[in-house]
Amino acid sequence: MDPLPRKLLAITILCALWAAVVLVAFVPVEKDAVVGSYRLHSSWFLQKEARPARIDLDKDGELRVYADHGEVTLRAKWWWDAAEGFLRSDARELDRRIRGYHGWTGTTLYWRLAPSFDYGEELEMQRLDR
């Protein structure tokens, strides 16, 4: 095989991969993709941090936060801001606390440990209803 067709094939493959990465990274997350039940991924070094045991995001816009013993600690209304990639809520402590983006395996959500943007530590939210 001549070197020129090999180079063209390599450039074509690289361009296709680049287009796939751009598509995955910049397509906004839609509300239907985040509806479901989640638990927070536990990190061994964050065991003492206060965090919910489970979070339910209903299709009708209701959000429920559960404690370890199964009691609902917070109910609120929620909506998805696709332009920003954040969950918005009428509960101030939850507004913009959950963010999402498209990854190679689908939509991934993250829970910011502190309600303010000053503390950026986040935990991955693992979907329970798949």
pLDDT at 43: 66
Secondary structure class of 128 (helix, strand, coil) = coil
Structure tokens at 71: 């009691």
Q: Closest Cα to residue 31, out of 72, 78, 95?
A: 78
Residue 107 to residues 8, 9, 15, 36, 115, Cα–Cα distance (Å):
33, 31, 24, 12, 22
Every domain of the chain and the residues it spans: 28-127
Q: Along the 130 residues of the chain, how does pLDDT read in single tens digits?
A: 567 788 899 999 999 998 887 776 677 888 888 999 999 877 666 555 667 889 999 999 999 999 888 899 999 999 999 888 899 999 998 999 999 988 777 888 999 887 677 667 888 999 987 6
DSSP letters of 66-87? E-TTS-EEEEEEEEEETTTTEE
pLDDT score recorded for residue 30 = 87
**Residue 109 contacts residue 125 (beta carbons within 8 Å):** yes
Q: Which CATH architecture has domain 28-127?
A: Beta Barrel (2.40)
Please tell me what DSSP assigns to residue 30. P
What per-residue confidence (pLDDT) applies to 49? 60
Residue 45: phi and psi, rounded to 5, are -90, -5
46 within 8 A of 121, measured Cβ to Cβ: yes
The confidence score (pLDDT) of residue 55 equals 95
What pLDDT is recorded for position 44? 63
Residue 47's pLDDT is 55
Instruction: Name the token pair of 122.
Output: 């986040």
